[in-house]
Chain A
Amino acid sequence: MECVITIELGTNATRVFVFDLAGNMIGFTKGSYPTFHTQPDYSEQDPEQIFITMLYVLKNLLNEKIYPQGYTVVSIVFSASMHSLLPVDKNGVPLGYAITWADTRGQKEAKELNNSLLGKDIYKATGTPIHPMSPLIKLTWLKNHDKEKFDQTDKFLSIKSYIIQQLTGECVIDYSLASATGLLNIHTLEWEPAALKHAGITADKLPALVPVFYSKFKLRKAYQTSLGLSAKTKILIGSSDGCLAALGAGIWGQKKATITIEDSGAIRIVGKDVLQDDQQRFFNYVLTKDYFISGGPTNNGGVIFEWFATQFGDFKKAFDLEHCMESLINEASKIAVGAEGLLFLPYLLGERAPIWNANARGAYFGLNIKHEQKHFIRATIEGIMYAMYSICKTLLEHREIESLSINGSFATIPFCAQMIADIFNKPVQISKNTDSAGLGAFLLGAIEMGIYKDIDEAAQTVVLTNTYMPNLQNHQIYIRHFAIFERLSTKLFDEFEEISKLQQK
């Protein structure tokens, strides 16, 4: 029997899924690693630890579950978080840790470029919002603040490129992940000269560009031996977690969007054209040369509810955070829609789409003497969803959306799924396979093997279940609260600036 393995190099963990050729998930494992914050705005990870963690969990899964069942691995497909940057020297040895998407050290660099005409042109060409998350901005920061490392660097890699280089010796990046670096022209599929010039590098400092189906790798003999794989096992470079989550979410064809909420969140649509937005509110990433994945990301997803639970949850009865969150949600469901006029701005981590304001902060608004703890719980969840809806509203200016497919651990909690249906006033479906990025990676592998003739056919096979229908009455209540939420988000701009300045001391 044959199987396909997908490896997702995620923000907190590497997740490995195994699929049989019919697309049924037959195995899963994960291994997590820490993010280091040596300065408040730094977020870094150890590339060697990611590599070893990946090897370790993969080897265990193969030996304990997959080989004993008689499976052979036909291909391994990679997926990874976007926007990471790892400088390496001429021997390919990392110069320090990898900088992750969550790193915001380049705020000043981002602001400067954003306010310039050049910034507008680069955004149009590359599809990546000008933001500290973008490798373009990280490079600019390195050039300005760590010239020594910048000069010593032979190649600027992504974490995925590094892992693949360790396994195969090749230095490559797929167009899809490259399109999230702020350096790739998404229309010509070449490195964008204006962006390279701004970053102060030449194209030879970057890995070679290849399509997402690229598989001409040779797994190093040593890893063939340690993992028990044959030389015939194909390695597919794959794409980014965001693009693959869209592929695995069953939204192909028109008028559908997918909402992912884990710690952070995003809403994405698929199209053959990019979304042109003068206010630069969306990303436009490339999946293949025919398809763009567009949408907006939020910093403040499930991580905000986790924060709330950690601070205010009742740990006397609950055994751990998960149980505690469960009982909080239970409490929240006893409160009426709209939390009786208590609003919450969830911008504890600053915000990306649609307000793109790193200095935005959280707030509870509308408190009166009758509000109880339960109202806070409900308001917190509603606030997270309003922020999501505010991204969706900007998308609706460009595209029609008739239904939603949701995934990610937070969005798929039934209480949250129903709330999304009500707030967005759209039917909501959950994909059978809760990890859409893993499924998307499998589909890429299956297309490459010829199981499906193209992306369209593969995407049609995604099974969506559990429809949550919107309740119009609830929608109308939500929408009146949302109107105030939306105004507060922009009205407080000056106060956000001032309070964040105070907090930086």
Chain B
Amino acid sequence: MNQFLLQQGQSKELEAFPHIIEFALKKNNTVQLNSLDKAITDTLRIYYIIEGKFEWIINQQHHMLYPGDMALILPGQELCGENSFLDIGTLCWINIHLDKLDTSEKLIPGKWSGLSKNEALTIGNILLLNNVLVLLKVKSVAEIFQDIESELHNQEIGYRTRVNQLIDSLLILITRQLTSQNNSHRDFPQTFMKLEQMLRQNLSHQWTVEEMAALVGLGTTAFTEKAKSYTGFSPFNYLINIRISEAIKLLKRPDVNVTDIALNTGFYSSQHFSTTFRKLTGHTPREFRKLNMPNTK
């Protein structure tokens, strides 16, 4: 591929794609001072290394990128060169604008995407939850970049649909790679332990089984089956189990009120919390608190 630089607002090729902010391929032959200074954008930046060796600091972590590797910079994350310049080599990148869901921090592709709402949400969550910013050896990304470039260049019939499909494919590929790079299929207990940690850290999040499965890099059926045989619980019941255990701990501390406990541990409402809690323990959360903290109201 030859060098190119397409920018929203300047390049006609991108007119039909307001969500593509920048799309480029660069062969960098010389080192120029301050050519890669610290920068934060509100777009999702995806870089793919074709040639050379790049030393970057992404979100304050050092990374060494080699050909075939890709870097993923989330909106609000910082990218800069190790020495503030762009190393010698060839790389391509695409900057995509993602919508924020309501007022929350959740990311979701815009209307242009063909992903179902659930899939889009899950992909957005997985991107946000993962601290892995560099993916190793994802050669198929190069093909997607190449296809996007040729679609944009040739503008044959159907190219609008094709370009958006290709971006969807790119997001799916990244998500799958992220989860499989993070999880060893050899060791489900360890994988499950990591998931459990993530669940505990985001207990108030409304987890879906699809999301949990995607996080460990499995399909929902395989995940449900494995979780069931390993823990004895369906994934959703396991989650309720953690929620109630955490809630019990909070109920034994006088300084948190029951509604807050319900919401912090991921129940829709204090009513929902109360019903679930009572079914299991026979007590309402308030009765349970009284039983364990005789000295408080």
Contact = CB atoms under 8 A, between A and B. Distances in A.
Contact of B280 (A55, A313, A324): A55
B11 to A, nearest CB: 46
A55 B283 CA distance: 13
A310 B241 contact: no
Contact of B248 (A48, A221, A222): A48
| Chain B interface helix/strand/loop/mixed | helix
Nearest to B278: A226
B241 A31 contact: yes
A46 B245 CA distance: 8
Q: How large is the interface on B (under 10, 10 to 19, 20 to 34, 35 or more residues)?
A: 20 to 34
A230 to B, nearest CB: 14
Contact of A59 (B248, B280, B287, B292): B280
Contacts of A59: 280
Contacts of B241: 31, 49, 52-53, 56
Given A31-B231, A46-B245, A310-B187, A226 B292 contact: no
B13 interface: no
A29 B196 CA distance: 21
A321 B191 CA distance: 13
A413 interface: no
Interface in A432-467: none
Given A32-B231, A56-B233, A310-B186, A222 B280 contact: no
Contacts of A92: 292
A56 B252 contact: no
A224 B186 contact: no
B230 interface: yes
Interface string B132-171: 0000000000000000000000000000000000000000
B282 A226 contact: yes
Given A93-B293, A222-B283, 6 more contacts: A31-B232, A48-B245, A53-B241, A91-B292, A91-B293, A311-B186
Interface of B: 184-188, 193, 196, 226, 230-233, 237, 241-242, 244-246, 248-249, 252, 278-283, 287, 292-295
User: Which 10 interchain pairs have the tightest Cβ spacing?
Assistant: A222-B282, A226-B282, A49-B245, A31-B232, A48-B245, A30-B232, A225-B282, A48-B248, A32-B231, A93-B252
Interface of A: 13, 29-32, 34, 46, 48-49, 51-53, 55-57, 59, 91-93, 220-227, 310-311, 313, 315, 320-321, 324
25 contacts: A31-B232, A32-B230, A34-B193, A34-B196, A46-B245, A48-B246, A48-B249, A49-B241, A49-B242, A51-B248, A53-B241, A56-B233, A57-B232, A91-B252, A91-B294, A91-B295, A92-B292, A93-B293, A222-B282, A223-B281, A226-B282, A310-B187, A315-B186, A320-B226, A321-B186
